[in-house]
Amino acid sequence: GESVGLHLPTLSVQEGDNSIINCAYSNSASDYFIWYKQESGKGPQFIIDIRSNMDKRQGQRVTVLLNKTVKHLSLQIAATQPGDSAVYFCAESFSGNTPLVFGKGTRLSVIA
C-alpha cells in the first residue's frame, strides 16, 4: 500500500555540523507533509510543514525540501545542537482529510 519511508534509520553528527534527514513517500496524491521531533518518553512535536505547491520552506535552523518529481522529502538542521538529539518522523496527508501516515523514524544522535 501507500507508505512513507525513510532512507536512514540512524544518523550521528558532530555538534555544530549540519544534519540532513531524508524521507521517501509513495503516495503521489499527498499534498501536505510534516516533520515531527520525538524526544525520549514524550509525544511527537511539530517542527515544520510544507505543502505540495512549495519546494522549500525555512524555519528557525530548520529547512524542509520537497522534491515531488522523485517523491522525496528532507529535513535540514543547521548547526546541530545536543538538544536536537531525538527521533525524527516525516508524515504525509491528503488535503487534511486523511489521517497522517508516518514514516518509521530516524534517530539523530549529536556528538559533543
Tell me the three state secondary structure of residue 102.
strand
Cα separation of 98 and 100, whole Å? 6
Which residue of 1, 42, 83, 112 would you call a contact of other proteins, by CB under 8 A?
42
Which residues inside 75-104 make contact with other proteins, applying CB under 8 A? 89, 91, 93-104
Closer residue to other proteins (CB): 83 or 99: 99
Which residue of 19, 21, 25, 105 would you call a contact of other proteins, by CB under 8 A?
105
At closest approach, how far in Å is the CB of 79 from other proteins?
A: 26
Closer residue to other proteins (CB): 60 or 97: 97
Which residue of 28, 46, 58, 79 would you call a contact of other proteins, by CB under 8 A?
46
**Which are the contacts of 43, defined by CB distance < 8 A and separation ≥ 6?**
none
Tell me the three state secondary structure of residue 35.
strand
Q: Are 18 and 26 in contact (CB under 8 A)?
A: no
